[in-house]
Structure 1
Amino acid sequence: MKTWSEVAEVQPLASKIITNSIKKDRISHAYLLQGGRGTGKEAIALLLAKDLFCEYKAAAEPCNACNACKRITSGNHPDVHWIEPEGQSIKIEQIKNLQKEFTYSGLESNKKVYVIKAADTLTSNAANRILKFLEEPSKQTTAIMLTENSQWIIPTIRSRCQVIDLQPLNPISFENRLVEEGMTKANAVLMRALTNNLDDAFAMNDDEWFASARKLMVQLVGVFSNNPEDVFLFIHNHWVTHFKERKEQEQGLDLLLLAFKDILYYHIGNEDSMVFFAANDEVLEKAAMSFSQEKLVTVLNEILQAKRNLKQNVHPTLVIEQLTLQIQR
């Protein structure tokens, strides 16, 4: 999304609120954009930053062609600062460095913008440091905070921001868009269950690692059904070696969750809701005979708990081992 017109197609209310502020020259000193992955938070932050620096904007639309717009797009504008988590959180040292930057005059104007991605990951000290920043706003400074879960942001920060709620994208419309742009129907169904982001969907669709992950998940379900005594060996020989990074481990659990959801849907005759397996898949049919409906509900809850444990920095190998034990019981 490179224009407010494009934003308006998927986030009409957010687009209207922000563009009206731009046209009336009433841009807030701080925004909190909250919405799920793929709802356009970063695109909106980019557009808002461009509006503040664009040399040739028309009404609320930045030109996207001037020197300022191009550098903001590439992340190289000296007066637009992006902060994102180092590891699992945004730390106080990052905020101190940001504040230090803001003690200097703007290199090309008196305006400065800072964007904090995943603002819900601010440590307590970093959040308090940002709060002081927000309590003493400069007319030339604009803060844009992005989050998927605003409930994890301290209320005193929320109260000092204009909160913009971004609506979830319609999954069927998203699926149709993927098919229109060349993705197979089966893959589009799976992708819309995993992401709302068009670029992410095509990246996964073309990724050999992801294709291997899907095959591995089918194999794992087969081992649970046919050779449960070999599951731990399979986990250590295949899962641990394939899902190495935290993001990959989370994606593995997402795929496993979808696979077991499909088994439950097959059990209750709701094949139209399945996204991972084809309705005539032999592995699916065997798994449906191996797991009762009650057991499948328990398994789904255990996978969700495993995802929470991973978020809480429990060692990933321990997480999958505990999950395996729970599924085997």
Structure 2
Amino acid sequence: MEHDIVNVAQTKQPTIFAQFMNLVKNNELSHAYLFTGEDGAGQFSVAMGVAMRLFCTNVQNGVPCGKCSECVRIMNYDHPDVVITKPDGQSIKVDQIRHVKSEFTKSAMEGSKKVFIISEAEKMTTGAANSLLKFIEEPTGNVVSFLISKNRNLVLPTIISRTQVVEFPSLSKKLMVAELQSSGVKPSEVNLMISITNSLDQIKAWSKDDWFASTQKLLEKWFTYLVKGNAMAMPFIQMSLMPLITNKDRQRIVISMMLSLFDDVLETKYGTLSSDRVKYPGILAETKQAAVEWNNDQILAMLDELLDMNGSMAVNVNFQNIIEALTLKILAIGQS
């Protein structure tokens, strides 16, 4: 958990956070909100910031101080009138919502307000979501609820229709890079990861797993073979690359990593690849060599072959066969 909720909310979503501070100031909060957006876009921090603003005893310049006993208790998940619910395992279960419902029916213990934050609301079972509906429809007392979801399409339409939906935009690349580097993600991996996903949580998970870094290194070796027109690229797939590609998710990630590799080549060809955009810094010399030796039509033809891989996956063609066929085609295009 971030130690400075207010700072995180102001940094990630300054406009949304300021709007909610004004809503609290003017006593115009609605009874239920659905915050949607990519992981790490600041939804939870904004919801917590609103809760802190409602209870803060020392508001500073319109925002909670983050230091009074009320703010500290909220940040420590220890405030009786701020109830936070998260998935228990893979889902939010009916019993968890029953607990929330029981809290709805109680009067606030230390004031006139109650705040409920339901994180990963898309993981509510249908029964849990239906159980929550009546309390969203008919709020009791001075209650505000925040449902947080990274995918609104997985939230029941009846829930969506009874909340005010707030779409959180993805963070700017500058903010993402700063947060990832402060979290210990290697600079040599940041740009590649950001080119594949906007989810900070996903990137942080990859950074803690040797799989991503190992796969990046192997793809650099594979590409080096391709640039040199070396047929060793074929046995390299079976002996080195395939043992790491153990499931469908990893197959999709590898395709995205390959596309990013050839995107570096294309941008180098057009002279638009600045140093802060390089996704494969470990093979910059090979990337430049490819941009010189391959013409535009060849590079675009290679990208087309890469994009066609998704179609082959959709009809369940063996993934090793897909990559080997791709490799043969790229070698042929490069020598044409």
Query: Same-fold call, TM > 0.5?
Result: yes
> How many angstroms apart in 1 are the aligned matches of 2:183 and 2:237?
39
> How many angstroms apart in 2 are the aligned matches of 1:261 and 1:19?
42
Worse-matched range after superposition: 44-53 or 120-129:
120-129
C-alpha distance 203-109 of structure 1, shift in aligned 2 (>3 A): same
What is the match of residue 246 of structure 1? none
C-alpha distance 118-65 of structure 1, shift in aligned 2 (>3 A): same
1:235-269 CA distance string (max 9 Å, x none) = 785455xx9xxxxx85x557524421134325645
Per the TM alignment, residue 183 of structure 1 is displaced from its structure 2 partner at its CA by 7.5
C-alpha distance 279-181 of structure 1, shift in aligned 2 (>3 A): same
Give yes or no for contact 1:262–1:274 (8 Å, CA) kept in 2. no
Residue aligned with 1:18, SS:
helix
What is the match of residue 140 of structure 2? 138
Per the TM alignment, residue 116 of structure 1 is displaced from its structure 2 partner at its CA by 1.3
Residue aligned with 2:215, SS:
helix
Matched to 2:259, the amino acid is K
1:154-173 to structure 2, matched below 5 A, reads 154-172=156-174
C-alpha distance 142-176 of structure 1, shift in aligned 2 (>3 A): closer
Matched to 1:193, the amino acid is S
1:257-272 to structure 2, matched below 5 A, reads 257-266=255-264, 268=266, 270=268, 272=273
Matched to 1:327, the amino acid is I
Between the aligned residues of both structures, percent identity stands at 26
Tell me if 1:298 matches 2:308: yes
1:11-22 to structure 2, matched below 5 A, reads 11-22=13-24
1:80-99 to structure 2, matched below 5 A, reads 80-99=82-101
Residue aligned with 1:77, SS:
coil
C-alpha distance 181-149 of structure 1, shift in aligned 2 (>3 A): closer
Give yes or no for contact 2:259–2:303 (8 Å, CA) kept in 1. no
C-alpha distance 266-77 of structure 1, shift in aligned 2 (>3 A): same
Figure out how many residues of one structure are paired with residues of the other and give that number.
301
What is the match of residue 118 of structure 2? 116
Q: Which structure 2 segments of 5+ residues have no match?
A: 226-231, 326-336
C-alpha distance 326-183 of structure 1, shift in aligned 2 (>3 A): closer
1:1-329 to structure 2, matched below 5 A, reads 2=4, 7-58=9-60, 60-172=62-174, 174-175=176-177, 186-193=188-195, 207=208, 209-210=209-210, 212-219=211-218, 226=232, 228=234, 238-240=244-246, 252=250, 255-266=253-264, 268=266, 270=268, 272=273, 274-276=278-280, 278-281=283-286, 292-299=302-309, 323-329=319-325
What is the match of residue 331 of structure 2? none
> How many angstroms apart in 2 are the aligned matches of 1:171 and 1:274?
13
C-alpha distance 302-260 of structure 1, shift in aligned 2 (>3 A): farther
Residue aligned with 1:280, SS:
helix
Q: TM-score, normalised by structure 1?
A: 0.72
Give yes or no for contact 1:39–1:196 (8 Å, CA) kept in 2. no
Q: Which has the larger radius of gyration?
A: 2
Give yes or no for contact 1:30–1:134 (8 Å, CA) kept in 2. yes
Residue aligned with 2:117, SS:
strand
1:82-125 CA distance string (max 9 Å, x none) = 22233433232321232234344444335322211122222222
C-alpha distance 87-5 of structure 1, shift in aligned 2 (>3 A): closer
> How many angstroms apart in 2 are the aligned matches of 1:294 and 1:195?
21
> How many angstroms apart in 1 are the aligned matches of 2:215 and 2:111?
54
Per the TM alignment, residue 163 of structure 1 is displaced from its structure 2 partner at its CA by 2.1
Residue aligned with 2:145, SS:
strand
C-alpha distance 194-43 of structure 1, shift in aligned 2 (>3 A): farther
Per the TM alignment, residue 21 of structure 1 is displaced from its structure 2 partner at its CA by 0.8
Q: Which structure 1 segments of 5+ residues have no match?
A: 244-248, 307-318
Give yes or no for contact 1:49–1:80 (8 Å, CA) kept in 2. yes
> How many angstroms apart in 1 are the aligned matches of 2:124 and 2:182?
39
> How many angstroms apart in 1 are the aligned matches of 2:139 and 2:156?
18
> How many angstroms apart in 1 are the aligned matches of 2:312 and 2:174?
28
Matched to 1:298, the amino acid is D
Matched to 1:215, the amino acid is S
> How many angstroms apart in 2 are the aligned matches of 1:276 and 1:255?
15
User: What RMSD over aligned residues (CA atoms) do the two structures have, in Å?
Assistant: 4.1
1:123-158 CA distance string (max 9 Å, x none) = 222222221120110232211011222233233322
What is the match of residue 315 of structure 1? none
> How many angstroms apart in 2 are the aligned matches of 1:236 and 1:198?
27
C-alpha distance 256-199 of structure 1, shift in aligned 2 (>3 A): closer
C-alpha distance 190-217 of structure 1, shift in aligned 2 (>3 A): closer
